[in-house]
A = this chain, B = another copy of it.
Amino acid sequence: MGALDEGHYNVVLENGVKLGGLEQEPETIAIVDAVKLLLQGLGEDINREGLRKTPLRVAKAFQIVQDALFPEVGVEHGKGQAGGAGGLVLVRDLNLFSFCESCLLPFQVKCHVGYIPSGQRVVGLSKLSRVADIFAKRLQDPQRLADEICFALEHGIEPTGVAVVLECSHVHFPNFEHVFLDSNHERWVKVVVGSGSGSFEKDDSASWLDFFGLLRCKDVSLDNIHARTTVQDSWCPSQSHSRLGLGPNSTMTSAVASIIQSLGQDPCRIELTATPNRYVNWLMNFKDSNLEMKLNGFSSIPLKTTVGRINYKEHVRSENNLSLWSLCEHHLLPFYGVVHIGYILGEEVNSISKTLLQSIVHFHGFKLQVQERLSRQIAETVSPLLGGDVMVVVEADHTCMIARGIEKCGSNTATIAVLGRFSDDPAARSQFLQTIPSYCL
User: Which of B18, B138, B331, B376 is the one whose CB lies under 8 Å from A83?
Assistant: B376
Residue tally, chain A, CB below 8 Å to B: 116
A438 within 8 A of B: yes
Interface centre among A4, A13, A91, A206 (most CB of B within 10 A): A4
Interface centre among A77, A86, A91 (most CB of B within 10 A): A91
A84 within 8 A of B: yes
Q: Which of A21-29, A347-355, A417-425 interfaces with chain B?
A: A417-425
344-384 of chain A: CB within 8 A of chain B: 370-373, 375-376, 379-380, 383
Determine the chain B residues whose CB is within 8 A of the CB of A62 once the complex forms.
none
User: Which of B76, B92, B307, B413 is the one whose CB lies under 8 Å from A125?
Assistant: B413
Chain B nearest CB, measured from A220 CB (Å):
13
Contact with B along A285-329 (1 / 0, CB 8 A): 000000000000000000101010000000000000000000000
A17 within 8 A of B: yes
Determine the chain B residues whose CB is within 8 A of the CB of A83 once the complex forms.
372-373, 375-376, 417
User: CB distance B2 to A13 under 8 Å?
Assistant: no
Chain B residue nearest to A1 in the complex (CB): B259
70-100 of chain A: CB within 8 A of chain B: 70, 72-84, 86-95, 99
Chain B nearest CB, measured from A200 CB (Å):
13
Q: 30 A-B Cβ contacts within 8 A?
A: A1-B332, A2-B333, A3-B403, A4-B99, A5-B264, A9-B17, A72-B372, A73-B376, A79-B423, A80-B379, A81-B416, A82-B372, A82-B379, A82-B418, A82-B419, A83-B372, A83-B376, A84-B372, A86-B423, A89-B372, A89-B413, A89-B416, A91-B412, A93-B410, A117-B372, A126-B400, A129-B401, A213-B434, A214-B414, A216-B433
Binding site for B on A (CB under 8 A): 1-6, 8-13, 15-18, 68, 70, 72-84, 86-95, 99, 104, 106, 117, 122, 124-126, 129-130, 133-134, 137-139, 206, 209-210, 213-214, 216, 259, 263-264, 303, 305, 307, 330-333, 370-373, 375-376, 379-380, 383, 388, 392-393, 398-401, 403-420, 422-423, 426, 429-430, 433-434, 436, 438-439
